[in-house]
Every structure is written in structure tokens, then in C-alpha cells.
Amino acid sequence: MNAPRRLLAVFATVATLTLAVGCSSDPAPEGEARGGGGAAAGQAEPRAVPGVGKAEKKADTTGLVLPIDAYDVSMGQMVKTQLAQNALVSDCLARYGLTIAYPKATVNQGSPHARRYGPPESLAAAQKYGFHMAQGDPRSFTNDMMVRHSQEVVEVLKGMKDDGAGTPVTSFRGQSVPKEGCAGEARRKLAQGTGEGKRVGHADTAAAIKARSFEIAKNDPRVIAAEKKWVACMADRGYINYKQDSFDAAADTRWNTPKATSEEIAVAVASWTCGKKGNVVGTWVAVETAYQNEQIDKNAETLKDDQKRLVEENKRIDAIIAGTGGAAS
């Protein structure tokens, strides 16, 4: 449940299927080796983080902003990208006399880092929702709430039969079906003008720095010490099964329910309380901020180029949503 584990926006089954615009790994930012020598996997390089002063006392992540956020894609931009993708898919399916209904794309109104460090974003959130998100949590969807689609829609959408063999669907009702179906056509239209090797709705360098800063901080002695305090505090309250760090409680499979149980709420409150006692959030933020600021300076030109690309990309996405964009595939 970090940035890597972050919960940003939930678009349900078909949205997940159609938004797969790319799946390559984030590139390492400047100054970061991609494999080879250096520290062992999963370990921070010695002196990887600049000197960090005394961490500010901080218990909440509500509204938390990290330095790299200024260069990354916002949750609002992600939702707009999804809306454009949905519009293109709907237009494609309409050519075959098919329709599709999407659940409303929503944005969590809090910080995109609400659960970046394990404990709930605030005591109030823990008391009301436990480890569930206030909105957009996939576990809040029940089967009858999920969007159902006919076999015809699914096959034209994916461009393949639902026969377990992946048999291509090349035509439907006398019309040819685009490669990879309407989902593939929508992806290609959305990506036009994005640039070679670039992904729509994705700031590569910023994402790489954000992911790397999390991993660096995770292995930093100061963060490890804060997490140990959390473990000890939880054990004092009788929660002895959470032995590693503050993510253990949030990841407990017992919370895979539509709504938070009273037991989940109790554990969530304890997690937030112990996080405050050990200054888990404040320590993580201090270490990540130091590393991100250093990387922003090193990658200033690349980050600036990515921002320019995203501005142009947003213009295309706005045009698609308004019904004036989307060239033929």
C-alpha cells in the first residue's frame, strides 16, 4: 500500500482492462544504476540519502505533498485519461451497435499518499473506515455493483473470443474488428502524439524517482528504527502478529470485507496511534524529501521536458472528452 502501494482511483473491471496503455518498467532516474554493481537487491546504497535533520513530528498523511508531486501526474489527470479512454472505447463499440456502461471514475479527495506509510491517514479516518479507503476502495464493490457485459461486448472489446484459447475476433456483424479490439484501438488513438516509448498519463522520470525514494527510505536506518517502535507499540497493545512494519496491519487479509469491522477499526486506531508514537510518517517524509530534492536537481531538464509533454497530452485528452479528438486508428 505504498506509492507503489498507493490507492489512487478505482475504475472497476473494464476500466482496468482498457487502461493498459503500457507495461514497461519505470526507468531509473539519472544517477541511479539499473542493476549491476552496488548494494544488494532490496538494500539502500550507502549514503544514498543526503543528510536528514531531525524529522518533524507528523502522524497524518491527509493532504501530504512530496517534492516530486510537482512533476508527477495528478489523480485528476489520471481520471481524465480514463474518461478519454472510456469515450474512445464507447465510440468504437457503437460502430457495431454495442454499448458499454462504466462506473463513474472518481478521485480520492485526500492525498495520493494517504496510505503510503502504512497507518491510516488520520485518526478520524481510522475510527470511521479502519484500513478501508473513504472512497474508491475495490473491496467496497460487491458483485452486484460490478459492471456486467455481454459476451459480444467483451469479445469486440478485447478482439478475441472468450474461449480460453485467445482466438482472435476479426469481424463482427459484417464489419472488421480492429487489432486487439476496441480496447486496442482506443489505446492507439490515446497514445498518438505521446512520443516514442512514452506512456499516456505517465511521467516516467517523476514516477521512477517517487518509487526509488520509497525503496531508499524503506531501508534507511532512521525509518527502520521508527518502524521497530511501531512494532513494539502494537505488541504492547496485544497485536503481536505484526512483526515487520506498519504495513503488516493494513495488509491483514481479515480486512478483505465490503466494510470495516469493529476489529479492523480497533487495529487501525492502534496502528495510527503507534505510528504517531514512533513518528513513522514524519521519519519517512524527512528521508524521502531529502532524496527527492536531490534527484529533482539532478534530473531538472528531463522533468521539465516531461511536464511540457503532459501539458500537450492533456490538450489532446480534453479534445477527446469534448468529442473533437481521436484520429482514425
- Predicted confidence at residue 207, as pLDDT, reads 94
Per-residue tens of pLDDT for the chain, all 329 residues: 443 333 333 333 333 333 333 333 333 443 333 333 334 333 444 345 667 767 899 999 998 999 999 999 887 888 888 889 999 999 999 999 999 887 665 555 556 788 899 999 999 999 999 999 875 444 344 444 445 688 999 999 999 998 888 899 999 999 999 999 999 999 999 888 776 667 787 899 999 999 999 999 999 999 999 999 999 999 999 999 999 999 999 999 999 988 899 999 999 999 999 999 999 999 999 999 999 999 999 999 999 999 998 888 888 898 888 885 444 44
Q: Which amino acid is present at 157?
A: L
Q: Name the one residue in this structure whose C-alpha cell is 513494539.
A: 232
Q: Name the one residue in this structure whose C-alpha cell is 538494500.
A: 43
Grid cell digits, residue 264? 479492523
Measure Cα distances from 267 to 178, 241, 243, 279, 280 in Å.
50, 12, 14, 18, 16
- Predicted confidence at residue 216, as pLDDT, reads 94
* HSE-CB for 149 with a 13 A CA cutoff: 22
- Predicted confidence at residue 50, as pLDDT, reads 65
Q: CA quadruple 74, 76, 80, 85: dihedral positive or negative?
A: positive
Q: Name 136's Cβ contacts closer than 8 Å, sequence gap at least 6.
A: 7, 8, 9, 10, 106, 107, 108
Please state whether 136 falls in left (phi above 0), alpha (psi between -120 and 50) or beta.
Answer: left
- Predicted confidence at residue 94, as pLDDT, reads 95
Q: Using the CB atoms, write b or e for 283-293: b if 16+ within 10 Å.
A: bbbbbbbbbbe
Q: Name the one residue in this structure whose C-alpha cell is 539519472.
A: 30
DSSP classification of residue 176: E
- Predicted confidence at residue 146, as pLDDT, reads 45
